Amino acid sequence: MIIVSLVKECLQQANEKYYRKLYETNQAVLKPFTFAPYLKNFRFAEDEIYLDELVLTFSSPDFEFMLHFYNGLRKVSWFRYKQYEFIRGRVRMLPEQTIRNRSIIVKTQSPLLIEDENRKPVSPERPEFAKHFAYMADTILREYRGKGLRESLIVTPLAMQKKVIKESNHVFTETHGPNRYLYFTTYQGQLRLEGHPEDLQLLYQLGMGKRRGQGFGLVDVIRG
C-alpha cells in the first residue's frame, strides 16, 4: 500500500485531472500498469521490514500513465507514508522487449494471482489454471483496448512455487479490526505462453492475473 500511495502522489503532482479519472471517477476500472518491488538487504522485525534500499520496476503500455507518473516521480524527491519516510534515488527508463514470436517463456518478477469465479486461488497444478489465466488475460486486454484476446491463449506452467502474501490496508482494518491482515495465495516461477504476438506484447507490458495495480503479475520475457 505504500507503493500504491506513492503512485497516487506522483499522479496528483503531475496531473490532478488524470489522477481523479484513474482513482476516483473510474475506481473499478483495471489500472493500466503493474510493478514489482525489490527489497535490498531486508530484515524482518515482527510486522515491519527494515531494508537498505527499495527498488521499484514499473511497466505499462499506456503512454499517458507513464508520462504523468514519470513527471510526478521527478517532482517527488521525498515521500511520507504514516510514520515511514522515503527519499527518492535515481529514476531511469529500462529497455523493453518487443515480442514477435507466438510462443514465449516468462518469469514472474512479482507474485502471480489467479483466482476462480468465487475468488478462490487456483494452483498451477490444477487443470483449470490455464482457463482462469486466459479469462483474466482476456479481461485485462478488453479493459485496456476495448477488445479481448485476438486468439486463444495457451498457458503452460513450467516451474512454479507457492507464495502467500500478507497485506493490510485501512479499509480492511476498519471493517475487521486492527492487526488483521489479508492473505493472497500466489505463485512465482516460469510459464510458457502461446498466442497472438500482439496479445503477448500487451500482457507483458500490462502484467498478468489479478491486482496488477497493487504490485502483482509483472513478468520478464526470458525466451521468445
Q: Per-residue pLDDT tens for 126-170?
A: 999 999 999 999 999 999 999 999 999 999 999 999 999 988 776
Average pLDDT over residues 22-38: 90
Residue with the bigger pLDDT between 100 and 169: it is: 100
Q: What is the pLDDT of residue 6?
A: 95
- The stretches of the chain forming alpha helices (DSSP H) are 2-14, 16-20, 63-75, 129-145, 170-176, 197-206
Q: What is the mean pLDDT of the chain?
A: 93
Cα angle for residues 3, 205, 15 (degrees, 5° grid): 50
Helices then strands, each counted (H, E), the chain: 6, 10
Instruction: List, as one string, the DSSP characters of 43-56.
Output: EEETTEEE-SEEEE
Distance CA 193, CA 207 (A): 13
What DSSP character marks residue 178? T
Q: What is the pLDDT of residue 174?
A: 66
Reported as a pLDDT band with limits 50, 70 and 90, residue 173 is low
> What residue has cell string 492487526?
179
Contacts of 203 (CB under 8 A, 6+ apart): 137, 140, 141, 193
Q: Per-residue pLDDT tens for 114-130?
A: 999 999 999 999 999 99
Q: pTM for this one?
A: 0.91
Instruction: Please check the confidence at residue 1 and state whether its pLDDT lies above 90.
Output: no
Q: What is the pLDDT of residue 126?
A: 96
Instruction: Please check the confidence at residue 172 and state whether its pLDDT lies above 70.
Output: no
